[in-house]
Structure 1
Amino acid sequence: MSAQPDYAQAGELKFGQVGIANLRVRTLDPAQLAAEMRERVQRAPNLFARAAVVLDFSGLTRTPSLDEARALVDGLREAGVLPVALAYGTREIDALAQQLGLPLLAKFRAQYERGDEAPAPARPAEAPRPAEPAAPAPVAVAAAGAPGLIQVAPVRSGQQVYAEQRDLTVLAMVGAGAEVLADGSIHIYGALRGRALAGARGNESARIFCREFDAELVAVAGHYKVMEDIPADLRGKAVQVWLEQGQLKIAALD
């Protein structure tokens, strides 16, 4: 057996939950996609400038060519964000990632068929659900598989708390520059000054409840609003955030 090296490692490698945006491409138009991203960066530079972005081509009927993908990557970089990976999918996506020199991230994979088959066809659109009342009563939606995660200490700038496959309850404040995520709902009993992302794996029934609302960003199942999109009269109030027919809603709690 070889002896263990007798020196301290220069770097410690760990794998963990990181905040990375997922850009699901619906129309393969690099110029338009870059323009849309540039507008996001200009509106909320603290959130989007130099943000890490994963490209997801599962919404397209074909895999982009190398030239198309390179044009998109270059356009997004010029717009102010940093494409860092492709969402894992088919053999063609694997080959494209290798040609681009980018990794694949299984975390952001869509509902692909297993193996090397083409992506699964989109499901038929469901009939619109009846609209809920403008300010529905709070309903906690727990994620299946595990009890909720309780965070007692404040979540400070630069920190991130993730509740995998469950709800998250924060008993203290979420500071500016901090991030809380949950696959279920998020309950914050202090001030929310950072970011809160519920339904992180697509649970559209997830909600966010907050006692003092002053968020940089809130999102449910990928649908988000940034500070500039949030009505000023909701600042500092107790609110809930939910998804209704694909639209993110924010209302004060009585």
Structure 2
Amino acid sequence: MSAVAMDYEPAGELKIGQVGIANLRVRTLDVAKLAEEMRSRVQRAPNLFHRGAVVIDFGGLAQVPDVATARALIDGLREAGALPVALAYGSSDTQRLAEALGLPLLAKFRAQYERTDTAAPTPAPAQAEPAPARKEKAPAAAAPAVTSASASPGMIHAALVRSGQQIYADQRDLTVLTGVGAGAEVIADGSVHIYGPLRGRALAGAQGNEQARIFCREFHAELVAIAGHYKVLEDIPAELRGKAVQVWLQDGQLHLAALDAP
């Protein structure tokens, strides 16, 4: 009796990872205005937004739109050059709307809006040190100007980040020892440090940490973002291009300055 050969090798390998998908938080349900705003973004930065994947978040509205209105918005965004691929998870109404539209729900895109304290990192395991007999209370540490996403060691990437490549530092800072090429993307839940030219995209505070920052030695970025707030190259002052730059978020506004500035 001959044994039947069994093929246990999968035809496709499935991995779940970080992806750079734009999140459109709808605050006013004006389909024509939303489509026009998207068209303007695509025209200003076609390499970033043309045929770019977009998740639609209706969490900023008092109620979820009906199916016809949601379809009109999806069609408008597609005509503007974007590709709506999912809805951001919200209520049971959002789930029913997603089913009616035939779109998936993605939960992670609501995280930064739902946080009550986005600036606070996960408590460090420093309290686990051996406790002596005395019960001396440790002094409260002042919040630093740059906050890591957690107490985990930062991620270090030594090679050039090439076009089409994406590097993600989960719950920590990211340090790139060389540079980030055009069309490449670096993402960190903490801060991003680039010891070379930044020609692609850099996203810090990816899970909503508004204290994260971006530093680079030579600024030519296609896009920089902190906690979802972004600027594209066309929005950057010409005098900062090619300079050593830091990027930070303050009062909901993204700021850029030369590192040697006072």
What is the TM-score normalised by the length of structure 2?
A: 0.83
CA positional deviation for 1:7: 6.8
Q: Distance in 2 between matches of 1:4 and 1:98?
A: 41
2:222 to 216, 221, 228: 216
> What residue in structure 1 maps to residue 14 of structure 2?
13
CA positional deviation for 1:245: 1.1
CA positional deviation for 1:13: 2.0
Q: Distance in 2 between matches of 1:4 and 1:183?
A: 46
Q: Distance in 2 between matches of 1:9 and 1:183?
A: 32
5 Å matches for 1:76-155? 76-110=77-111, 139-155=145-161
One-letter amino acid of the structure 2 residue matched with residue 19 of structure 1: G
> What residue in structure 2 maps to residue 205 of structure 1?
211
Q: Distance in 2 between matches of 1:68 and 1:226?
A: 30
One-letter amino acid of the structure 1 residue matched with residue 62 of structure 2: T
CA positional deviation for 1:151: 0.8
Q: Is the 8 A contact 2:67 2:97 kept in 1?
A: yes
Q: Distance in 2 between matches of 1:209 and 1:102?
A: 37
Q: Is the 8 A contact 2:180 2:197 kept in 1?
A: yes
> What residue in structure 2 maps to residue 69 of structure 1?
70
1:192 to 184, 191, 198: 198
Name the CA shift for 1:68/1:4 in 2 (closer, same or farther; >3 Å).
Answer: farther
Q: Distance in 1 between matches of 2:28 and 2:85?
A: 20
One-letter amino acid of the structure 2 residue matched with residue 86 of structure 1: L
Listed one character per residue, the Cα deviations across residues 119-140 of structure 1 (whole Å, up to 9, x for unaligned) are x8x98xxxxxxxxxxxxxx943
> What residue in structure 2 maps to residue 133 of structure 1?
none
Q: Is the 8 A contact 2:248 2:254 kept in 1?
A: yes
Name the CA shift for 1:224/1:21 in 2 (closer, same or farther; >3 Å).
Answer: same
Q: Distance in 2 between matches of 1:253 and 1:6?
A: 58
> What residue in structure 2 maps to residue 117 of structure 1?
none
Listed one character per residue, the Cα deviations across residues 44-102 of structure 1 (whole Å, up to 9, x for unaligned) are 10000000000111100101111111111010000000000001111111110000000
Q: How many residues align?
A: 230
Q: Is the 8 A contact 1:206 1:220 kept in 2?
A: yes
SS in 2 for 1:233: helix
Unaligned runs of 5+ in 1: 113-119, 124-137
Listed one character per residue, the Cα deviations across residues 9-48 of structure 1 (whole Å, up to 9, x for unaligned) are 4432222111100000000111110000000001110000
| Structure with larger Rg | 2
5 Å matches for 1:5-44? 5-6=6-7, 9-44=10-45
Listed one character per residue, the Cα deviations across residues 177-232 of structure 1 (whole Å, up to 9, x for unaligned) are 00001111111101100000111111111110111111110011111110111111
Q: Distance in 2 between matches of 1:38 and 1:228?
A: 15
SS in 1 for 2:39: helix
Name the CA shift for 1:250/1:4 in 2 (closer, same or farther; >3 Å).
Answer: farther
2:162 to 148, 153, 156: 156
One-letter amino acid of the structure 2 residue matched with residue 37 of structure 1: M
> What residue in structure 1 maps to residue 46 of structure 2?
45
Q: Distance in 2 between matches of 1:175 and 1:29?
A: 37
3-12 vs 24-33, which moves further: 3-12
Q: Distance in 2 between matches of 1:60 and 1:145?
A: 36
Q: Distance in 2 between matches of 1:15 and 1:25?
A: 27
Q: Distance in 2 between matches of 1:234 and 1:180?
A: 20
Q: Distance in 2 between matches of 1:174 and 1:72?
A: 35
Name the CA shift for 1:237/1:69 in 2 (closer, same or farther; >3 Å).
Answer: same
Q: Is the 8 A contact 1:58 1:110 kept in 2?
A: no
Q: Is the 8 A contact 2:111 2:208 kept in 1?
A: no
Q: Is the 8 A contact 1:167 1:185 kept in 2?
A: yes
SS in 2 for 1:212: strand
CA RMSD of aligned residues (A): 2.0
